[in-house]
Each structure stands twice: as structure tokens, then as C-alpha cells.
Amino acid sequence: MNTNKESMKKTVLITGSNKGIGFETSRQLGHKGFHVIISGRDQLKIKKALEKLQEEGIEANMLLMDVSNHENILQASNEFKKLNISLDVLINNAAILLKEDRSLITNSPSIIENTIQTNSFSIINVTREFLQFIPNGGRIINMSSGGGSMTDPVGGWSPAYCVSKTTINAITRQLSFELLSKNISVNSVCPGWVKTDMGGQGAMRPVEKGAETPVWLASEAPQSLSGKFFRDKKEIPW
């Protein structure tokens, strides 16, 4: 049974949060007083990440969830139900960028399918299963990328990944419309080019900066902002 103080605490679930921007976002929101639910597809990695957060005094739980697998998402939502708490913020962060992703014409179809399933369709599937826990006034944040922009010129890198991020932006717009009546905001974020396993060592931004905008959208940003694409806490064109 939650005490009153505990039930006042906001809860956030972040997919793919055993490392990188997802982990840092969990850490920053934990220090802002959120109850953090981290999740990932590898039990050992997610357990280690959980221990790190708890060592910093953050109230945290873990969920094993491979976002590319629908059965797995269902199991994770059943596990979440056992916590008997609501979910104020869902951050769809998990993604892959495969090194073999060089061409939509010559990539093996499995690379394209795996990328779009993991990065884009997962957002619909995770949102559908966890929506039952999100109250009116909740927030959904989808980690996108400038690579998915329909305004910037095509960069010529990782085309399946870029298509997956354009798809995320389309999903954000549609979900934002569908969830308007519940006052649940849905936004996309480009974190910039961030030094993580995905971004590589050449990236200019530290991971703390990459987490800045999702942390802001989860906490201080006005609830009325929805159906938008943000970088550095500012709206950017699709």
C-alpha cells in the first residue's frame, strides 16, 4: 500500500534505459524526485543500471521489456500492474541503429524490418499496453532524431533508421490527436548528436545535454504542449 507521500510522487517509465540517454534521463528525473521505472531487454544490464540509480538514492524499479516483441511488452505491462501505481510519464527511448543499415535498396529486408519494428512500431505497442496506467494529464515522450526530419536535407546515412524516426514523428502526431481528449500530451524529441554507444565518440554533446529536453518535457514543460517536435527545449520543424 502506498503512503500518501509516495502516491504524490510522479512515476516515469523509460524504455531502453540501461545505458545512454535513457539511463541519464532516468538519473536526472530520479534526482528531481520521480519514481523511476527503468527497462531493457537484457536482465543483467538492467539490474546493474538499477543498482547504480539506487546507489544514488533514487527510488527505482526495473522491468524486463524487449520493445520489439509484443508478448514481452504484454508481460512487462502485467509486471507493472503488480506495482499498483499510475504512470505519469512514458518515455519511448529504446532504439537501434545497425551498422549494416546503408541502403533501402540493398539492405537485407530483415535490417529494415528490425529497425522499424524496434524503433517505431514499438512505440505504438508500448503505448497501447501502458495507456491503461496513464492518468489524465499524463505525458508521452518519443525519442526521435533530426535524421527523421522532413525539412532538413537527406543526410545519406542509415536510411532505415532515418525512416524509422520519420515514422516516429508521424506516430507522435497521430497519438497526440487521439489522446487530446484525455489531456495526455505526446511529443517527439531530437536530443542532438550525443556521445553514447549509438552516437559514437565523435559526437559533440555529452549525455547530460542529450537528456535535457526529455527531462524538461517530463517535468517542467507546459502540459498544453502536444503534437510537437523539440530540440533544446525549442519547437523545431518536422
Ligand X SMILES: NC(=O)c1ccc[n+]([C@@H]2O[C@H](COP(=O)([O-])OP(=O)(O)OC[C@H]3O[C@@H](n4cnc5c(N)ncnc54)[C@H](OP(=O)(O)O)[C@@H]3O)[C@@H](O)[C@H]2O)c1
Binding site for ligand X (CB under 6 A): 15-16, 18-22, 40-42, 45, 66-68, 93-96, 118, 143, 145, 190-191, 193-194, 196-199, 203
Contacts of 15 (CB under 8 A, 6+ apart): 22, 39, 40, 65, 67, 91, 92, 93, 94, 122, 126
Least distance from C-beta 220 to ligand X, angstroms? 20
C-alpha cell at 59: 527510488
Q: Are the beta carbons of 116 and 165 closer than 8 angstroms?
A: no
Q: Which CB, 11 or 142, lies closer to ligand X?
A: 142
Least separation in angstroms between residue 24's CB and ligand X is 8
The least CB distance from residue 218 to ligand X, in Å, is 14
Minimum gap (Å) between residue 76 Cβ and ligand X: 10
55 or 197, CB closer to ligand X? 197
Nearer of residues 32 and 195 to ligand X, judged by Cβ: 195
**68 or 185: CB nearest ligand X:** 68
Residue (127 or 145) nearer to ligand X, CB: 145
Nearest-CB residue for ligand X: 20
The x, y and z cell numbers of residue 55, run together, are 546507489
Q: Residue 189 Cβ, how far from ligand X at the closest point, in Å? A: 8
The order of strands in the sheet holding 60-64 is: 60-64, 35-40, 11-14, 89-92, 139-143, 185-189, 229-231, 234-235
**Residue 171 Cβ vs ligand X, minimum distance, rounded to whole Å:** 13
Strand partners, 61: 37
Nearer to ligand X, 9 or 205 (CB): 205
Q: Which residue stretches of the chain are H helix? A: 4-8, 20-31, 43-55, 70-83, 109-116, 122-130, 159-178, 207-218
Cell 517527439 belongs to residue: 188
For residue 159, give the amino acid letter.
P
